[in-house]
Each structure stands twice: as structure tokens, then as C-alpha cells.
Amino acid sequence: ALTQQPLLTTRSTREWQAADAAHFLHPFTDFQSLARKGSRIITRADNIYLWDSDGRKILDAMSGLWCVNVGYGQQALIDAATRQLRELPFYNSFFQTATPPAIELAELLAEITPPQFQHVFFTGSGSEASDTVVRMVRRYWDILGQPQRHTIISRKNAYHGSTMAGASLGGMGAMHAQGGLPIPGIVHIEQPHAYQLAREMAPDAFGRLAASWLEDKIIELGPDRVAAFIGEPVQGAGGVIIPPDTYWPEVQRICDRHGILLVSDEVVCGFGRTGHWFGCERFGTRPDLMSFAKGVTSGYVPLGGVMVGERVARVLIEQGGDFEHGYTYSGHPVACAVALANIRLMQQLKLVERVRDDTGPHLASLYASLAEHPLVGRAETCGLMAALQLVRDKASGTPFPPERQVGLLCRSHCFANGLVMRAVGDRMIVAPPLVMTRAQVDEMGALIRLCLDKTWADVQHQGWR
Ligand code: PMP
């Protein structure tokens, strides 16, 4: 076991920050402003906790970036990586070759995913999985002699990655504004975001309404021009937007009615996050393709992929010839060995069942009590992911003006009090490691409450309500 003492770092925080600012361009960052503020330097981690370069302990309620499902410091994953690095650190899967870890992982994924999935295409990340989805669905329709079936429908405020195709599938306006996106043949419909769009409406009715926007778009485009619909079961980066239970089954019926492929982006929802192995199982869809990354290795090493359902696999295999697509790290043996150890550990610890039957319901009751807080307009959970919508007026649900940046204010209290909770506008979100115990859920809850109270005091002090 790792000691509870922070490891001595070789440089001071200020020295790390200076070198960081001088050379390291961070993702999704205003470089100049970060250089002024300085990065937080995270030096080590164990279980659900991080330590920074000043030795401060932080509860990581975001699992890194939605990925460290088994928590930090798991010896089984460390051993698997070490053994594989010694045995065979790299070989590719091009040119009629394969490695045992990649084959075994493909086999295990076929076992734990829904029954239509018997094949996998490996990538290095979730974004590469999104690019693979775009090329694969278009290739599928080409092979079937329907090249006009080219358009992929996605949703506003979706996140599917940061490559050209990933960012195009995503529905983030700020990303589209940089680099001439989206690429042609990708369109977006409105998201099933009840708080934003239909505060007064019954959830079931709103779910059906939001699904009907998909059919409207299909009919507008012409059903024979639509290749696929893609969505995250629960939108993660968009702010943990949990759709009503009526939404996904209706989306499935619409896709079936028009023969359109359904793609479930399981990069966040996969590997137990919702209390089921995959989000599509929680929400009752039967996708044709399923992209994954993050939780497959609990983030210990990079790996992603696309599960290919039999409808698509049969066409690609039996009629497709060469599929002109792939990555150096498709089936990286070390990544696959870590994924095998990670999935087997999740099975041994019964983590998915624990989230479904124990810690997930416990988090839901914690959030039901947080919903009483004067700053909280809505509190929602799904498995071990959750959102608190901060509002100016609780009775009416009126939001704060965006320029107040109340979410960022709350986040700064979280940082100062040893909690990683993410702000998406004024939505505060968590997705903690699935190894979290009930007692740790309560510990996280106490920190969240403390930070809400401090934010509430600031809001009152400023006279913002
Ligand atoms: N899809 C979803 C739903 C995601 O949340 C992410 C990353 N947050 C991606 C795709 C892209 O994954 P990556 O960052 O590994 O490229």
C-alpha cells in the first residue's frame, strides 16, 4: 500500500508552475490566463484522494476526468502493466498480426457488452472512437449501395471528443467556432435538457417531446439521407444531463422506424458509471455501435474503441473488403492488459452491482437532501454521476445571470476545501470513483454542503438575491 505521506517532490510548487507556464500548453485553456494564475500540481493519488505539490489532500469527486472508476493505486492494474511492459511493450495489429492481450480483451468485451456486440475496433482514445464511428457508419451505407445515407444526427451540448470528427459530432458552439467545424454531413438537434427547456413540463411528456425532435429532423432531411443518430446516454461534459426515462426508448423506436443506425457514446457512461455495465442497458436501447474509452482502463493508460454490433459487423466483414482505417495504438498490448485487469477487478469487487444497489441509491438520497439547500434548484443523480443546478430563486427556478459566474465561485470554494467538483455554467457535477464507499459518499456530501453554504454566504453578501 502507498503511504499516506505525500512523496517529496524534487521541485517547489512555484518552480513546477514556472516550468509549466513556460512550456506546457494545456487542453481547453486560456494559456495566458493560466500562466498568470499558475497550475495546481497534482503529485500523487490513492483510492479516491489526490495530493498536490503542497501536500494538500483532495477528494477527487470527478475520477480524474470521468475515468478512474476503480480508484487510484490498484495493484492489479500496476502489475498487469508491469508484466506486459516486460513481456511485449508494443506490437501492432496491422499486417496480419495480433497480440494476446488485444485478443483476450476483445473476447472479454464481447462477453460483458450487450449480446449484439461480438466485435470491437480498438482506438487510443474516445475522440478516435468518434472518428471511427463517422468513418464506419458511412462505410456501412456505402457498402450497402446507399452512399447518399451520409448525414449523422447528433445533439446540441453533446460532447464526443476534440478531433475534427469528434468536435463536429459534439454540439459545443465554442468548439465549432474554432477550425471551421462541424465537418459536412453532421447536424444537431436540441438536447433533452428539462431544466433549460421545459421546467414546468411532466418528465415523461418532455422525454417523448425531445425524442420527437429527432423524427422531425429525419423527415426534414429525408430518411434515406440519414446514416445514424449518436448520443451519450447521459450527457457528461454537457453537465450531467439525465434524460427522462421515456426519451431513449422513443429514440430507439424512431431509429428502427427509419432504419437508421443508433450509436451510443459510452465513453463516460460505460463501465459501471450508471449502475449498469453500459448506459444503454440503463436506458433501454439496443445500439448498433457503442464507443468507449476512459473507464475501460480506469484511465491508468489510454485506450478506447468501438463495439460493432452484428448488423454492421456482418456487412463490413462479409461484403466490405479493406476498411481503410486504424491507428498505431489500435489494440496496444499494455493498454489491453491493463483493461483486462481493470474489468476483472470490477467483476471481483462487484462494482457495478454496488453502484446499482448500494452507493448509487445512497448518493440519490444524499442529493435529495441537498435539493433542500437554498442555492439548489434541482438535484439529479444517475448511478454515481450527479448534478446540482444552482439557482437565484429556488421557488421559480430562475437562474443567476451568467456573468455572475456562480458556478465558478462554488468551484473555487471546492478547490479551497479539498474537493474536486466541476462547474458547467451553474451546474455543479460529480462522477466519483466507483470504489467509493457509503461513508465516502457521506464525506463527499459534507464537503459539497460546506461549499454550497460558503457560496450561498457570498451570494447573499454580494446582494445577488
Ligand atoms: N465522448 C464522450 C462522451 C466524452 O466525455 C469524451 C471525453 N470527455 C470523449 C468522447 C472523448 O474522449 P477523449 O478525450 O479520450 O478523446
Q: Which atom of ligand 1 is nearest to the CA of 65?
A: 8
Q: 64 C-alpha vs ligand 1 centroid, how far in Å? A: 13
CA dihedral 339, 340, 345, 351 (to 10 degrees): 60
Q: Where exactly are the structural domains of the chain?
A: 13-70+350-461, 76-348
Packing angle, helices 310-319 and 126-143, rounded to 10: 60
Q: 292 C-alpha vs ligand 1 centroid, how far in Å? A: 8
Tell me the C-alpha distance between 422 and 383, whole Å: 17
Cell numbers 513546477: residue: 16
Cell of 456: 450561498
ipTM value for the complex: 0.99
Closest-CA residue to 230 (of 240, 217, 239): 217
Ligand 1 pocket test, candidate residues 28, 62, 127, 154, most atoms within 8 A of CB:
127
Q: What is the pLDDT along the chain (465 residues), one digit of tens a residue?
A: 555 565 555 899 999 999 999 999 999 999 999 999 999 999 999 999 999 999 999 999 999 999 999 999 999 999 999 999 999 999 999 999 999 999 999 999 999 999 999 999 999 999 999 999 999 999 999 999 999 999 999 999 999 999 999 999 999 999 999 999 999 999 999 999 999 999 999 999 999 999 999 999 999 999 999 999 999 999 999 999 999 999 999 999 999 999 999 999 999 999 999 999 999 999 999 999 999 999 999 999 999 999 999 999 999 999 999 999 999 999 999 999 999 999 999 999 999 999 999 999 999 999 999 999 999 999 999 999 999 999 999 999 999 999 999 999 999 999 999 999 999 999 999 999 999 999 999 999 999 999 999 999 999 999 998
Looking at residue 456, what DSSP letter applies?
A: H
Ligand 1 pocket test, candidate residues 232, 240, 294, 424, most atoms within 8 A of CB:
294
Could you tell me where the beta strands, DSSP code E, fall in 117-185?
117-123, 151-155
Closest-CA residue to 38 (of 447, 415, 452, 357): 415
Q: 221 C-alpha vs ligand 1 centroid, how far in Å? A: 28
Closest-CA residue to 182 (of 130, 219, 225): 130
Please give the full DSSP string across 8-52, using - where no structure is assigned: PPSS-HHHHHHHHHHH---TT--HHHHHHH----EEEEEBTEEEE
Ligand 1 pocket test, candidate residues 66, 67, 159, most atoms within 8 A of CB:
159
Cβ contact 80:341 at 8 Å: yes
For domain 76-348, the question of CATH label 3.40.50.720 is answered with: no
Q: Which amino acid is at 125?
A: S
Fold of 13-70+350-461: Aspartate Aminotransferase, domain 1 (3.90.1150)
pTM of the predicted structure, to 2 decimals: 0.97
Q: Is 160 exposed, middle or buried (0-12, 13-18, 19+ CB in 10 A)?
A: buried
The residues lining ligand 1, judged by C-beta closer than 6 Å to any ligand atom, are 125-127, 130, 159-161, 166, 232, 236-237, 265, 267-268, 293, 304
